[in-house]
Structure 1
Amino acid sequence: MWNNFKNYLSHSKIFVKEIVLLSLVFLLSASFFFHYPIHKIISLLFLTFVIDIVFLYSLGKKRALEIDEIKTTIKNIRKNKYNSPNEIQMSKSLVDLEGNIKAMFKRTQRDITQMQKLEQTRKEFLGNVSHELRTPIFALQGFLETLLNGALYDEKVNKQFLEKAYRHSENLNALLNDLIDISMIESGQMRMSFRYFNLNNFLNEIYQQVKEPAERKNIQFILNKLDPDLDVYGDKDRLTQVMNNLLSNAIKYTEKGRVELIVEEKQKSVWIKVKDTGVGIPQEDLNRVFERFYRTDRDRSKTIPGTGLGLAIVKHIIEAHDSKIEVVSDKDVGSEFSFKLKKHKD
């Protein structure tokens, strides 16, 4: 009992100055206006002291209970006893604080969820990277081991094995370059150099670079005509990377038919489209094709070279141009990837 009394009074320390000041003002006013004799003033002083103690005790008790309630609520949050902010209930005197704690709880839950997602993404990314790295490395080791075990001097197979080893080293180099790019993009460290450039010259350069693999597969590669004086705004080097990714994918996944590079000029922008008659993408996979390492057909992807990062890089680069990469596709019919760039004002 005595400990509780001392505890409650200790919680009312912050009110002592105000209570004492009010009491002194009351006593001085009473003695001045009513001209009390000294013994009545002493009695009034004692009565005021008792009232002050009772008042401070009540204030201290109320404050102590509120602090205990706050501590209990915070303790329950730390122990994850609340599943939703609506479960947090406090007394009427703490209604404002209750609202702030609920808001803090919501933010904390969002942060925890985000951290869990990031951790899961990190694990998946590391798992995918290790898997993608393991494939060309193991292949290289196998070919080199075979060569060292005697095939190096066998003219029938040594060149074939060396060529295969070289192709796998190229795949490994492409994967490492893409990993560096995606890491720099997602960390905000990739520098972009925006300027106006001639779109006709740009696409013709891309066309000359990509037409050879299309011709090897007997695929029509068509660059539609466009305004020779049309200028667009963007990072030319990064857009070269975008076009190479889109066109190489279109050619890789097209066995017959054609790949078209289409330009549609609008009032303030220019749409660039890559359209093919390839295998297409199932509707259920369209929302995920821009995820890192996502493959719509993993069995088929094993026979087609690629890092699984190309479209993820494309997405980030196009978004850095205040645009969005869009895709329309039907399985066994073909796909169309498109994005827009700002056009130079005449």
Structure 2
Amino acid sequence: MSSFSKSESRIAMENLLCDEVWLSSPGTPDLSHESEHYIWKGYGYADLFYTTKEDSEQALVICLKKELSYMPEAGYLDYLQSKNLVFARFRAVQWLIKTCTWLNLSIGTVFNAVNYLDRFLSMSQCHGWKHWMMELLSVACLSIAAKFNETSLPSLDELQMEDLEHCFQPSTIQQMELMVLQALKWRLGSTTSYSYIELITSNYICDINYNLHKELINQVNRTLVKAILDFELVPYPPSVVAVSALWCSLEELVPSSYNAHLTKILKLINQDHEDDIMECRRIMKAWLVHPFYNMKVSEQCSHYYPPSPVTVLLTDRIDMINDCQVDLSVFKMPLAGSNVFKLDRESSGNRKRKKVLRMDCNATEGHDADQQLQQTSIQAGPEAA
């Protein structure tokens, strides 16, 4: 039995979500009134698959070697800024965090989902992202991450129960999942900043008491979740972000001995990243002074998505919207062929005032083939080493 039970690390998100405020519009909910109901199902360091220190050290070496191959494409930060997608990404990540918390999914699931979203966005050649596109991508990434990480899966309807303005038909989400999987080449075992915390703390921070060790992991997890919200940290390798979070947490929790721990940890990281670690630490320290430092993207609210050419209706004013055609080729991924799939909009009593899309539908010559594709369920796919 592990010394750190899963229940003991479930508080990793509570303090973060207490202070989170949705910044997109006056109509969005304030999480501070609901945070007391949120519980995070995280994992303690001893819940690893590795039974010996040697195995754990080898796993750390493997993570360091492969982390760059799971990062977004070069120039991703410039793409976000040039396409006015900084706030769009912020809100998508915020939704992923809240939904994972509400559904009691593991903390690793949200980190993987954000990784899939960033990698997909960095490969997209789309010049005009719309609100429904980002929401569909977010749902698809979370669904894939849950399938990869969780033993008990939420339904696609459950994934869409909170804070989305559009409701998508399961077949549409599944086709979006397939597009994401193909873009990522089915490489889902991402190395994220969260991947390092258990490996490092279990091997290199062993001389502090149980309660302090537990609090350290929780503190680092909270810092890392803030980090995935901050677009400025996107270009840095996961190991750099993880070590920076550990540095800040050790400095706060064990000020008398953090230098000794830090010296051991820094030896694990390529010395070429020393400046990057210092810069990441500077950004994280700024959060302590200005809690909403990484939410400065709210200044870009006026640029949040180009105007959509579709008609928006409220579900509490209609009972059912007929099937419409949604052209997924608008995502402009480097894949052959065009994808046109159905988008269904339904209303329900517990989804008051949720917006749905009504889009003009035109028959296409490939309609029969598309219908056949819609009936295909996405199964667990192969993952490249």
- What TM-score do you get using the length of structure 2 for normalisation? 0.21
Q: Write 1 or 2 for the structure with the bigger share of strand.
A: 1
- What TM-score do you get using the length of structure 1 for normalisation? 0.22
Larger Rg: 1
Q: Write 1 or 2 for the structure with the bigger share of helix.
A: 1
- Larger relative contact order (C-alpha < 8 A, sep ≥ 6)? 2
